[in-house]
Structure 1
Amino acid sequence: MYHKLLYSFQFTPSSNPRTATKQKQRFERSVRRVLKDENINPGGTSSTSTKLAAARKRKFLFLDSQKLRPRVKHLHYKKSGLIPDQDDYNARILLMIVQN
């Protein structure tokens, strides 16, 4: 299947101070919105791994060390969840096996 690779996050606000302030506020609001869905076990504490899992779920980058591989949405997938068969697609497909 086709995936895009999102990596090397850099936050570069505008040189205009008023615009930069608004951009920082908007980014911080987005981070709060994404981390609101952080799943913490009862009696546990928030950690970097739980924050990264919440960000991965929402396809959101906020650290420069993060990497995401979301699916390309404009492609039409046949038989989702199975190993793709070349006969089902007009374009050449590449099979990538990702191990956890």
Structure 2
Amino acid sequence: MSQHRCACVTHQHIFARTQCFNNIKQKNAQNPAIIPKDFANTKASHANLLYYRWLDGKTKRITSRRLGISYDSNIHARDSLSITKRGNRHMYRKSLSNFKYDLSPNLRTQKQQEIHFKRTCRRVFNKMRLPSNRKAKNQDYLAIARKYHFLFLKSQYVKVPVRHLLYKHPHMTLPLTTIRSWFLFSLWTQITRNKS
């Protein structure tokens, strides 16, 4: 409809069905091997999904068109020493690495991306609390970026704990296969529920 005209209430649904959104491509369906169709949005199913991502060792490429950057994300499992001796309760952690500038070929967009990225850098780096007589060094910039999970260098990597999956008793000395059996536990609970 042109010249600021719109359909009346009676014919709006017909207009929307026939005239609107006709030439829009459908999004590619997600890979069924990664996320099944009967995926239940529960904590156990998310734990299983993370477990299989860790088991397959898949790398996820994350791209921000607003900032003009991209980086890789991997899932790593904690080792038994980290769990039992140090008391780390998080089962998994994400490793963010392989930072790369991915600027647009359009010059106006590229300029905006650079402005947004510099603003984000300023926002993170202004959170540094240093003594007044000391200037910031490279280690200080890397430390504050690690604290806020921010990548700005190619050689930099950040490890972020996955906070919604925790061990209840991290000091117990269980075998590693027993510790990482979320998917077995969920299967066991389903089997016991079906029996009763």
TM-score (norm 1): 0.74
- 1:22-80 deviation per Cα after TM superposition (whole angstroms, max 9, x unaligned): 1111000000000011232341111000011110110000011111110124x421348
**Separation in structure 1 between the aligned mates of residue 180 and residue 102 of structure 2, nearest angstrom:** 40
After TM superposition, the structure 1 = structure 2 runs for residues 1-100 of structure 1, keeping only pairs within 5 Å, are: 1-73=91-163, 75-79=164-168, 82-83=170-171, 90-91=181-182
Match in the other structure for 1:95: none
If the length of structure 2 is used for normalisation, what is the TM-score? 0.41
Counterpart Cα distance in 1 of 2:117 and 2:171 = 37
Q: Is the 8 A contact 1:39 1:50 kept in 2?
A: no
Distance 1:88 1:64 in 2: 34
Q: Which has the higher strand share?
A: 2
In terms of Rg, which structure is larger? 2
Gapped runs of 5+ residues in structure 1?
Answer: 93-100
Q: Sequence identity, in percent?
A: 31
Structure with a larger share of its residues in helix: 2
> Equivalents in 2 of 1:83, 1:65: separation in Å?
34
> Hey, what's the Cα distance between the residues in 2 that align with 1:28 and 1:12?
14
Please state whether the residue corresponding to 2:121 is helix, strand or coil: helix
List, as ranges, runs of 4+ consecutive aligned residues in structure 1 with deviation greater than 2 Å.
82-92
Distance in 2, Cα, partners of 1:24 & 1:83 = 47
Tell me which of the two structures has the higher relative contact order, counting C-alpha pairs closer than 8 angstroms and 6 or more residues apart. 1
Whole-angstrom CA distance in 2 between matches of 1:23 and 1:56: 22
